[in-house]
A = this chain, B = another copy of it.
Amino acid sequence: MSANQGERARRRLSTGERREQLLSVGARLFSESPYDDVWIERVADLAGVSRGLLYHYFPNKRDFFAAVVERESERMLRMTAAEPGVPVREQLTAGLDTYLGYVQAHAHGFRAFHRADAAGDQAVRRVYRRALAAQEKQILAALAADPEFGPVFARAPHPRLAVRGWLAFTTAVCLEWLRDGELSREQVRDLCARALLGAIA
């Protein structure tokens, strides 16, 4: 009766592999449906595994979701690390290209990650906010270090807020971009780049 991977024989995986597999399935499901439309049973089923095993790896559903979010935030930060020293105007284009590459390559994880914003409890939100803060910090540092934008930026009344807003802008645009792939990556990139330059001008 179960739709578990077409009844393929159950393999016994190492802890690391199994954990990774469960998180991967979770990312897919959480990207498609809101938090409480995702049944723990279905996660286990798609992984070809029993419900109980999921609770062996994760204490409860909340923490499972938090782990999915955390894994994705780590991947994102790893794939989009900034390269210091390059002028912002160039770094921005290159950085956005990298970022959009990540978004396309890991659309499931990206969507699941941003579901934590409004759907998560305290613990999940903490993970989410930490990742956003890291991105924020990275961008703020790059802007402050730039010869062109550094001085302008120092005078701004609330640079952190501007960057936070811009991250929301970029996220919203990317989610829409994934939804209907009408736009090219370059268009999205340029739109986001202009938005940042505008917000801090």
Contacts and interface: CB of A to CB of B under 8 A. Distances in A.
Task: Identify the interface centre among A33, A35, A197: most chain B CB within 10 Å of its CB.
Answer: A35
7 contacts: A34-B118, A36-B36, A114-B118, A164-B173, A168-B172, A169-B169, A191-B199
B162 A167 contact: no
Contact of A173 (B117, B157, B161, B177): B161
A41 interface: no
Contacts of A194: 198-199, 201
Nearest to A114: B118
A171 B161 CA distance: 12
Interface residues of A, number: 40
Contacts of A195: 162, 165-166, 169, 195, 198-199
Interface string A158-201: 10011011111111110011000001000110011011011101
Nearest to A33: B121
A79 interface: no
A115 interface: yes
A134 interface: no
A33 B35 CA distance: 14
Given A34-B119, A161-B191, 6 more contacts: A34-B120, A35-B119, A158-B191, A165-B170, A165-B173, A198-B198
A7 B181 CA distance: 56
**4 smallest A-B Cβ distances: which pairs?**
A198-B198, A168-B172, A118-B118, A119-B119
B199 A201 contact: no
Contacts of A158: 183, 187, 191
Contacts of A37: 121
Contact of A197 (B161, B176, B198): B198
Contacts of A171: 168
A191 B192 CA distance: 16
